Amino acid sequence: MTPDPSTTTSTARPGSPPGAAGTGAPKRGGFASATVPRHLARGAVGFGALVGSLALLPLAGPASLLLAPVGLVALRGCPMCWAIGLAETVSAGRLRRSCTNGSCELRRA
């Protein structure tokens, strides 16, 4: 009898793409970007759109509020989400978690 592929176990982290087990690529969090400049550009677009939506309110009226969703999408939800993503982007591949005997700690890679 052959094992059912849907019940086999893997060493990949939950949520990782298939075949990611054993790859040496650094793992990024859900809010991280590929590079720091790309993340900063997303922040500039996001914060610019949010500020612009409020600053243009006296000139363009309620139509300027259409910039707010653009800013929130660029920031991936909220300014705090962007800040968390910045920390994840900067630290991606630089820190490794090692767990031994039930105790975990972060170490430089």
The pLDDT value given to residue 17: 47
Residue 21 pLDDT class (50, 70, 90 cuts)? very low
Instruction: Give the three-state DSSP class for 27.
Output: coil
Calculate mean pLDDT across residues 29-46.
Answer: 89
Mean pLDDT of the chain: 79
Amino acid at 69: P
pLDDT tens-digit profile of 61-72?
Answer: 999 999 999 999
Instruction: Give the three-state DSSP class for 106.
Output: strand
Amino acid at 103: S
Task: Considering only CA atoms, give the Rg of the chain.
Answer: 20
pTM of this structure: 0.61
Dihedral in degrees, nearest 10, Cα atoms 24, 98, 39, 34:
10
What percent of the chain clears pLDDT 90, i.e. is strictly above it?
42
Calculate mean pLDDT across residues 16-39.
Answer: 66
The answer to whether 33 touches 90, Cβ cutoff 8 Å, is no
